[in-house]
Amino acid sequence: MTLWRRIIDLYVDGFRSMTVGRSLWAIIIIKLIIMFGVLKLFFFPDILGTNYDSDEERAGAVRTALSDSDR
């Protein structure tokens, strides 16, 4: 077997034989869903979608914000 195949088999066998690790991975996945899914709604509002009506206006606002050196 090649080196890459042995490395993959090592991780696959390790994940198969986990007992406590499965619940820890479940906790990690739940925390990531909460962090990136729920908190995004509260801390990262869609400012471009609410302040501008068309895609051209949004593109102009982003272009201005990126090229404005006073910010």
Q: How many domains does the chain have?
A: 1
60 within domain boundaries: yes
58 within domain boundaries: yes
What residues have CB less than 8 Å from 15, skipping those under 6 apart?
21
24 within domain boundaries: yes
Give the domain range for residue 26.
19-67
pTM for the whole structure: 0.46
How does pLDDT run across 38-63, given as a tens digit for each residue? 888 888 888 888 899 999 999 999 99
Burial class (CB in 10 A: 0-12, 13-18, 19+), 52: middle
53 within domain boundaries: yes
| 71 — pLDDT class (breaks 50, 70, 90) | low
Please provide residue 8's backbone torsions phi and psi, each rounded to the nearest 5 degrees.
-60, -45
11 within domain boundaries: no
Above 80 in pLDDT, residue 70? no
